[in-house]
Structure 1
Amino acid sequence: MSISLTLTPKQERFIATKLETGKYHSVEEVLEIALRLLDEYDRAETEWVRDVREKIDAAIEISDHTPPIDGETFVNQILEQFQQKRQTEK
């Protein structure tokens, strides 16, 4: 497959700067690394979304079996936990 790209001047300067460092030897190498990193980013994002969904589902499952509490009680419980943690860290 052959693809033709048109880069913006900013993108061209970015690639040229990378090549000038001597770390990269060709435009193709820079693009190969960029595409690999994009793939890694997409995979990490997909994994993160899956993990968050699993945590939300678990929280919903727990909440289905836990009696509700009012906001003031909830906040007081959180503050108490922070205070206990602070005391154990000293």
Structure 2
Amino acid sequence: MNISLTPDQERFIQTKLQIGKYRSAEEILELALRLLDEYEQSDDDWVEDVRQKIDAAMEASQHTPPVDGETFVNEIVERFRQANSA
């Protein structure tokens, strides 16, 4: 596979090589791809975690009586006050 880099990308890689932290452009690209894979995996994990929390909240809401908006906000404000006074 051949990869074409922009001039900025080439300068970036050359700068990293000149610093001496990496031995080759291939090493830099391998690290970049590994980090991309980790980033995407953590993003997928985060989405799944949020989905599970939403599902749990929806399940809990089916067993909890409804609360009007004003009461809900007042309860949050009161919890905040209690947390700050402790």
Give the TM-score range, shorter chain. Answer: over 0.9
The 5 Å alignment of 1:1-20 reads 3-20=1-18
Give the Cα separation in 2 of the matches to 1:23 and 1:11: 17
Give runs of ≥4 in structure 1 deviating > 6 Å.
Answer: none
Post-superposition offset of 1:66 = 1.0
Question: Share of identical aligned residues, percent?
Answer: 63
Length, aligned pairs only:
86
Post-superposition offset of 1:42 = 1.1
Post-superposition offset of 1:53 = 0.4
Q: TM-score, normalised by structure 2?
A: 0.96
Give the Cα separation in 1 of the matches to 2:60 and 2:75: 17
Structure 2 alignment gaps of length 5 or more: none
Structure 1 alignment gaps of length 5 or more: none
In structure 1, the partner of 2:36 is 38
CA RMSD of aligned residues (A): 0.7
Give the Cα separation in 2 of the matches to 1:85 and 1:50: 30
Give the Cα separation in 2 of the matches to 1:72 and 1:11: 54
Post-superposition offset of 1:87 = 0.9
Kindly provide the CA deviation profile for residues 31-87 of structure 1, in whole angstroms up to 9, marking residues without a partner as x.
010011111111111111110000010011111111111111000000000000001
In structure 2, the partner of 1:65 is 63
Q: TM-score, normalised by structure 1?
A: 0.92
